[in-house]
Structure 1
Amino acid sequence: MRSIWGLIALVATATFYLYLLSAFLPPGPRAVRVHDAEPEHTADESEEEVLRLKFPSDLEELRELAELLKFYKTEHTGYVFILFCSAYLYKQSFAIPGSSFLNMLSGALFGPWHGLLIACTLTTVGSTNCYLLSRTFGKRHIIRIFPEKVAMLQRMVEENKSSLFFFLLFLRFFPMTPNWFLNITSPILNIPIPIFFFSILIGLIPYNFICVHTGAILSEIQSLDDIFSWGTLLQLLLIACVALLPGALIRRYSQAHLKLDGLEPNGHQKVLNDRKTR
């Protein structure tokens, strides 16, 4: 029970910090709405709407947030960087879905290459935080809630102990089990932090590359014609090649060296699926 209250206190503290960071914004842009029906109104009499920060849930909200933060970035570069890093680490550390939108936002704000470096660093640090939080607060609760999946992963880690790093890379390139679940179960599986750290850093490069470069392209597209320009098409082709090449190499290695019997998408065993069909 003490571990649960400790985790709740930590989540509450981090949430309060993120709230304060987003609530007390520096002076920023305001969306101005002028009355078209009454031309005698001047700009001083126009209505203003204060733009507020929130996690994006779709592409339209992502575009709006990117435009808002781009303004802040020109005037308050350090503030935007700290805010972005804090929001990203908050999601990763507490295993909250939605990192793909933040990866795309990284590309829109910082460009494709700087954005990729930032996204890979934050993904690795945030996942390591999640690992440490799970080891400190949640090991017994995770085993109690997910006994079958933990047992399955434990068996496969033991079978692939001689190639543990490549086994973890395979799981990151082809997430048979969601990344957040691997993060919280790794301390239970006794995976050393250095191996965990570098498997995240390397294994999620293709995924981060796709999201970041997609965000960079979306921020540059102004019309449908831009989508079908040669420059955009070549960038999309490059994204596909970079994402597929390491995956193909690790798949070939896994077929020759790793024991993956019974592992299916989302981490279920074939035997579990057989039981459900009976």
Structure 2
Amino acid sequence: MRSLVGLFAVVTAASLYLYSLSLYLPAGPRRRPRLGSEIEHVEAAESERLSDISEEPSRLKFPSDLAELRELAELLQFYKTEHTGYVLLLFCSAYLYKQSFAIPGSSFLNILAGAIFGPYEGLFLACVLTTVGSTMCYLLSQGFGKQYIVNFFPEKVSMLQKKVEENEDCLFFFLLFLRFFPMTPNWFLNMSAPIVNIPITFFSCSVFIGLLPYNFICVQTGVMLSEVSSLDDLFSWARLLQLLTIACVALLPGALIRHFSHRRLKVDTQHHNGSVAHKKVQ
């Protein structure tokens, strides 16, 4: 009971902080007037539209589909021109909130990182925040949730414990394999890792490296969404070449880990209709 009260206090404090941060938006950036009646008319209409956006703090919410994601990206890009620090703090806080409390939907935030911060800074933020947030989830589970996780997911915890013991001599590569080819959702692995005695150093490093291809794909998708304005742009030769490069870069680490796993790891590698068939790889 004491651990449940402590967890509730942490969640409440984090929720109030994130709510207050999203509620009090700074003033939106102002546009400089230009010569020409037609240009002034267009810019006045655009400024009025952006002003309407800045007066709607309720629109700052976690996106649930691509339409909301594009809308949120447009809003944050608008504020980023003069309030970069605020947008960065808000994005990092929201990302860590989702990761720390194992809330699904981090892929949308990865895409948003690419749309707002670009391919390099966005990828760096996604990788660092994923690692920090997952580690915070690990620590929260270690401090407050061990008993509840075992009670709610006894079979999953038992299966993971067995696999960890079987691959104890190459535990780090086993954790990488789980990130590249998850037998269990990432959120469950984050919560159950301290229960099955996975060292926090192995855990954090495996998150950073193992989710790098996934974060890379999501961030690059966000970059393309922010640049594409029509279907012709999406299906141009340059864009198709970019997609092919992204796919090759993302698949290479997974291919190497799979090759290693067939020689050393003992994992479940066959999937049939969403179920896992147990197979021991020697």
What is the TM-score with the length of structure 2 in the denominator?
0.87
Contact 1:152 1:269 in 2 (8 A): no
Matched AA of 1:14: A
Post-superposition shift, 1:117? 0.5
Q: Secondary structure at the match of 1:151?
A: helix
**Is the aligned partner of 1:11 residue 2:14?**
no
Query: Amino acid of the residue matched to residue 9 of structure 2?
Result: A
Are 1:173 and 1:203, in contact at CA under 8 Å, matched by a contact in 2? yes
Does the 8 Å contact 1:135/1:187 carry over to 2?
yes
Tell me the equivalent position of 1:276: none
Matched, 1:257 2:264: yes
Give distance in 2, aligned partners of 1:53 and 1:265: 40
Q: CA RMSD in A?
A: 2.4
Deviations 1:157-205 (A, max 9, x none): 0000000000000000011110000000000010111100100000000
Q: Which runs of 5+ in 1 are unaligned?
A: 31-41, 272-278
> Do structure 1's residue 148 and structure 2's residue 152 form an aligned pair?
no
Classify 1:142/1:267 alpha carbon distance in 2 versus 1 (closer, same or farther; 3 Å): farther
Partner of 1:37: none
Query: How far does residue 28 in structure 1 lie from its aligned partner after superposition?
Result: 2.6
Aligned position for 1:72: 79
2:169 counterpart of 1:182: no
How many residues get paired?
Answer: 260
Residue 263 of structure 1: how far off its partner (Å)? 7.5
What are the equivalent positions in structure 2 for 1:181-220 lying under 5 Å apart?
181-220=188-227
Which residue number corresponds to residue 246 of structure 2?
A: 239
Q: Percent identity?
A: 69
Note if contact 1:104-1:216 (Cα within 8 Å) is conserved in structure 2: yes
Alignment check: 8 A CA contact 2:179 2:207 kept: yes
- Give secondary structure in 2 for the equivalent of 1:75: coil
Whether 2:125 is the aligned partner of 1:118: answer: yes
Q: Aligned residue for 1:157?
A: 164
Tell me which residue corresponds to 2:34.
Answer: none
* 1:113, distance to aligned residue in structure 2 (A): 1.2
Q: Which residue of 2 aligns with 1:82?
A: 89
Partner of 2:20: 20
Letter paired with 1:27: A
In the aligned structure 2, how far is the partner of 1:255 from the partner of 1:270? 16
CA contact under 8 A between 2:29 and 2:82: conserved in structure 1?
Answer: no
**How much does 1:264 deviate?**
5.3
Alignment-mate amino acid for residue 140 of structure 1: Q
Deviations 1:223-273 (A, max 9, x none): 1110011221111111100111111110010011001158758996658xx
8 Å contact kept, 1:149–1:268: no
Amino acid at match of 2:16: F
The amino acid of 1:16's aligned partner reads: L
Change (3 A) 1:265 1:185: farther
Match of 1:172 in 2: 179
The DSSP-based 3-state class of the residue aligned with 2:7 is helix
Cα separation, 1, equivalents of 2:92 and 2:237: 33
DSSP-derived class of the 2:81 partner: helix
Distance 2:274 2:140 in 1: 22
Partner Cα separation in structure 2 for residue 265 and residue 61 of structure 1: 34
Q: Distance in 1 between matches of 2:234 and 2:182?
A: 29
Amino acid at match of 2:202: I
Q: Could you tell me how far 1:114 is from its partner in structure 2?
A: 1.0
2:110 and 2:269 map into 1 onto residues whose CA distance is: 32
1:58 shift after superposition:
0.8
Quote the residue 1:139 is aligned against: 146
4+ residue runs of structure 1 moved beyond 4 angstroms?
45-49, 261-271
